[in-house]
Amino acid sequence: MSGSPRVALFPCVYHEVDGVASTSKQFESFAGRRGLPLLMVHAGPRDAMSSAGSVTHIELRRSRLKFPIDRAHYYDLLFWRHYRKLEAQVRDFRPDLVQITGPSDVGMLGTLIAHRLKVPLAATWQTNVHQYARSRAAALVRFLSADAAGKLLDAVQRSSFRATARFYRIPRLLFAPNQEMIQALEAATGKPCYMMSHAVDTEKFSPEFRTRQGGPFRIGYVGRLTAEKNVRMLARLEQALLAMGHRDFQIVIVGQGAEEKWLRENMRHAEFTGVLTGRELSEAFANLDLLAFPSETDTFGLVVLEAFASGVPAVVTSGGGPKFTVRHGKTGFAAGTFADFASCTSQLMSRPELRSAMGAAAREQARGTSWDRIFEGMYETYERGFFPAAVAEHPVFDTATT
């Protein structure tokens, strides 16, 4: 290899609205700005190929045999039909490595092509699949006693993690967005795992987009409305706040999913906006007073950083990745129990000076993040992990100028 490694990236999602898609687009943008050769292979509504600068896109259509993982994410049982043509296209690109974002239909196809072409494979852990499996299974065992259901769900979670970890033994290098997951993956796979954090565009998300003055206290949730996001806790939060005597508040729910119907039927102080993008999303974040993020399955929780960039503190659970983003007591709270979650929310509602100070600190924290530094670190890890002999002769980045 000479010069920058040629990367073929197979993201699980691209057009969808979520953290994996957003991160993949940021990777693409970084490669384009730096003139780094990148082949982006993703699913979409049509079969197409296009190029812009150093970046080439291949979009592959899913078949009618796709099935929904949730309302916006699919797995196509016939996605393998693209293999023969795609292998030739990837071969023509001459990648030095293949990067996947998980065991999706796209990721598995990328894994097979890397194996057949004898190209090194790297993978990021973006989704706690084992916790998703537990959340989805919970609805099926409600007829059991709490003790029996708990034991069965523990078994589902353990077996799901073992199965997913077996897949992650295939790549040579792994990336994960928090130290807890890095340690778990290294122990389960025996492969080296490196940090891949997240950043946020502090111009796209900014307090400058705030348009409201006064009015009810606005508590926001942004994300999919699905079981694994623990969104029913928003209804419990509403009930707890009412019991504490709070009346002048509104819970703004941005997103869609299978749990929306239940939430509409069980909440009185909720506003449902559906999925928002672009300036509408920026304004929605900036017009919040607090982000309440009850998920315990997110590996990072990019929406927390987007709230921070908007000058909005967050209350999150102490399970999952968002707890590593929140600086407890400074930019928000990481709550260990539901009672703590409700109490922290109430505290910010009752103390505007604390909410304001935390919002300012959150904005400063977000401004300290950088997608460029994150992806520079990934490319340096590629070189050290896959091409150690080339590091001294051909460094990818001149650290004196980047």
Query: Measured between alpha carbons, how far is 300 from 298 in angstroms, rounded to an integer?
Result: 5
Q: What is the pLDDT of residue 400?
A: 39
Query: Measured between alpha carbons, how far is 26 from 172 in angstroms, rounded to an integer?
Result: 23
Q: What is the pLDDT of residue 396?
A: 54
Average pLDDT, the chain: 92
Is the separation of the CB atoms in 106 and 73 below 8 Å? no
Query: Measured between alpha carbons, how far is 371 from 353 in angstroms, rounded to an integer?
Result: 31
- Hey, which residues does 176 pair with through a beta bridge? 195
- Hey, which residues does 52 pair with through a beta bridge? 55
Annotated domain spans of the chain:
7-125+168-199+370-391, 207-367
What's the pTM value of the predicted model, to 2 decimals? Answer: 0.88
Query: Measured between alpha carbons, how far is 119 from 373 in angstroms, rounded to an integer?
Result: 25
User: Which tens digits make up the pLDDT trace of 342-381?
Assistant: 999 999 999 999 999 999 999 999 999 999 999 999 999 9
* Residue 305: count of CB within 10 angstroms of its CB: 25
Name the E strands within 234-348.
249-254, 270-274, 290-293, 314-317, 332-335
| Helix, strand, coil share of the chain (percent; to 5) | 45, 20, 35
Is the separation of the CB atoms in 182 and 124 below 8 Å? no
- β-bridge pairing 66-68 and 74-76: antiparallel
Q: What is the pLDDT of residue 399?
A: 41
Percent pLDDT > 90 in the chain is 78
Question: What integer is the mean pLDDT of 396-401?
Answer: 47
HSE toward the beta carbon, residue 291, CA cutoff 13 A: 32
Q: What is the pLDDT of residue 153?
A: 85
- β-bridge pairing 249-254 and 217-222: parallel
Query: Measured between alpha carbons, how far is 40 from 136 in angstroms, rounded to an integer?
Result: 31
- β-bridge pairing 249-254 and 314-317: unpaired
Amino acid type, 209: F
Q: How confident is the model at residue 231 (pLDDT cuts 50, 70, 90)?
A: very high
User: Which tens digits make up the pLDDT trace of 162-188?
Assistant: 999 999 999 999 999 999 999 999 999
User: Which tens digits make up the pLDDT trace of 328-346?
Assistant: 999 999 999 999 999 999 9
Domains 7-125+168-199+370-391 and 207-367 share a fold: yes
**Inter-CA distances, 115 with 5, 119, 246, Å:** 18, 6, 58
CATH top class, domain 7-125+168-199+370-391 = alpha beta
Question: What integer is the mean pLDDT of 154-168?
Answer: 91
- β-bridge pairing 314-317 and 38-44: unpaired
Q: What is the pLDDT of residue 154?
A: 84
User: Which tens digits make up the pLDDT trace of 23-75?
Assistant: 999 999 999 999 999 999 999 999 999 999 999 999 999 999 999 877 668 99
User: Which tens digits make up the pLDDT trace of 79-126?
Assistant: 999 999 999 999 999 999 999 999 999 999 999 999 999 999 999 998
pLDDT over 90 at 234, yes or no: yes
287 or 320: which carries more pLDDT confidence? 287
14 or 129: which carries more pLDDT confidence? 14
Q: What is the pLDDT of residue 150?
A: 86
- Kindly state which CATH superfamily the domain 207-367 is placed in: Glycogen Phosphorylase B; (3.40.50.2000)
Is the separation of the CB atoms in 156 and 137 below 8 Å? yes
